[in-house]
Amino acid sequence: MSKITPFLWYDGHIQEAVDLYTSVFLASKVIGTSPGPGGALMSATLEIEGQRLILFNGGPHHQLSPAASLYVDCDSQEEVDRLWAQLSEGGAESRCGWLVDRFGLSWQIIPSILPTLLQDPDREKAKRAMNAMLGMAKIDIATLKRAAEAV
């Protein structure tokens, strides 16, 4: 187990969040749960793709914000498309691969090629990839590659 585990404060609905996250990510499981007053789920510890998360039903006192997000490194456009569709349903799409799920948690759904393109030693190529990304909500790998290679 990692020494640091993200602790996420929800205003209710953590059972639904647990159900969504464990259905979306194939390598996920519930590690443990704790009931609160009245028997409703108060907290749940999940492991998603090897990362532990604690979801806490703390009420309306604090809200999730895009200032903290979960970055998902995707191997293919198919993975980007699937995660984007499932996590954005009932939430809100943003820019540059960011979305907010229906519970208020921000996600970055990023193809693994994006950092490679943005860090290309050919700064003009990297700039073209950056400009293409800035015009996207969901990241499209083919469009990024075409932009980077354009002359």
Residue 81 makes CB contacts below 8 A (sequence gap 6+) with 138
pLDDT at 151: 66
Mean pLDDT throughout 75-81? 98
Whether the per-residue pLDDT at 5 is higher than 70: the answer is yes
Whether the per-residue pLDDT at 86 is higher than 80: the answer is yes
Q: Identify the residue whose tokens are 């404060």.
A: 9
Neighbouring C-beta atoms of residue 40, cutoff 10 Å: 11
pLDDT at 106: 98
pLDDT at 1: 67
Architecture of domain 64-151: Roll (3.10)
| Domain boundaries defined on the chain | 1-62, 64-151
Mean pLDDT throughout 79-95? 97
pLDDT at 37: 85
Assess whether the region 1-62 and the region 64-151 belong to the same CATH fold: yes
The residues with which 88 forms a beta bridge, in sequence order, are: none
Architecture of domain 1-62: Roll (3.10)
